[in-house]
Amino acid sequence: MIKLLTDNWSAFISGFGWTVLSSVLALFFSLIIGSLFAILEVMPSKTARVIGNIYVEIFRNIPLLVITMFFYLVIPLYVVKVNGFTAGTIGLTIYTSAFIAETVRAGINSVDSGQMEAARAQGMSFWQAMKNVVLPQAFKLVIPPLGNQFVNLVKNSSVLAFVAGFDLMYQGNMIASQTFDTVNTYVVVGLFYLVITLPISYYMQHLERKLA
């Protein structure tokens, strides 16, 4: 196993890098998109709530692979040539944003409604009150669930392997098919994933216990 690791070190590290990059990019964009849809879901306007709900329910109930493959196959056909990494990261972003929207919405709902009312009574607009009063409190509450979403995101980024996204899983498959040493290759790939996911998920458990 050590030999396999040293022989293919650069491939593993590059896969690891692409996995981290894709996860971080997808996290960043899905936080923005997810928060926007979460706010839509709690807005006074009924149309906004319906739009927010439809987005969240559609992308939460369709497999990530379907979304990713769709972008991988359809964008190049009609819009612009994209590589697997871009298509995969777009798919990940859209899928994850629906889950983040749900998480953030739950956070917003658990902030006492008096906070919003008081802020509005002070003359703030809905957006000002949301941005300055409600969201800062909501985000504090949702840090542990968001951390768990990030763990899921890192694990889900393995679908990039379907679209040749250069990620860890993809590199692992290449190495496995070259060396025929499937067992050790997949163990090493697993260890690389655990390096990211285990510390985060333990830290989030610790935070949850502290907040509870």
Note whether 125 binds other proteins by CB under 8 A.
no
User: What is the DSSP code string of the chain?
Assistant: -HHHHHHTHHHHHHHHHHHHHHHHHHHHHHHHHHHHHHHHHTSS-HHHHHHHHHHHHHHHSS-HHHHHHHHHHHHHHHT----HHHHHHHHHHHHHHHHHHHHHHHHHHHS-HHHHHHHHHTT--HHHHIIIIIHHHHHHHHHHHHHHHHHHHHHHGGGGGGGT---HHHHHHHHHHHH--HHHHHHHHHHHHHHHHHHHHHHHHHHHHHH-
Single out the residue of 7, 182, 203, 211 in contact with other proteins (rule: CB under 8 A).
Answer: 182
Note whether 190 binds other proteins by CB under 8 A.
yes
Note whether 207 binds other proteins by CB under 8 A.
no
Identify which of residues 108 and 151 has a Cβ nearer to other proteins in the complex: 151
Considering only residues 53 to 72 of the shown chain, the ones binding other proteins according to CB under 8 A are: 57-58, 60-66, 69-70
Note whether 198 binds other proteins by CB under 8 A.
yes
Note whether 77 binds other proteins by CB under 8 A.
yes
Identify which of residues 31 and 102 has a Cβ nearer to other proteins in the complex: 102
Distances (CA, A) of 202 to 22, 42, 187, 209, 212: 22, 31, 21, 11, 15
Note whether 153 binds other proteins by CB under 8 A.
no
Identify which of residues 13 and 74 has a Cβ nearer to other proteins in the complex: 74
Single out the residue of 74, 118, 207, 211 in contact with other proteins (rule: CB under 8 A).
Answer: 74
Identify which of residues 124 and 187 has a Cβ nearer to other proteins in the complex: 187
Query: What's the closest the beta carbon of residue 108 comes to other proteins, in angstroms?
Result: 19
Which residues are near other proteins by CB under 8 A?
57-58, 60-66, 69-70, 73-74, 77, 151, 155-159, 161-162, 169, 172-173, 176, 182-183, 186, 189-190, 193-194, 197-198, 201-202
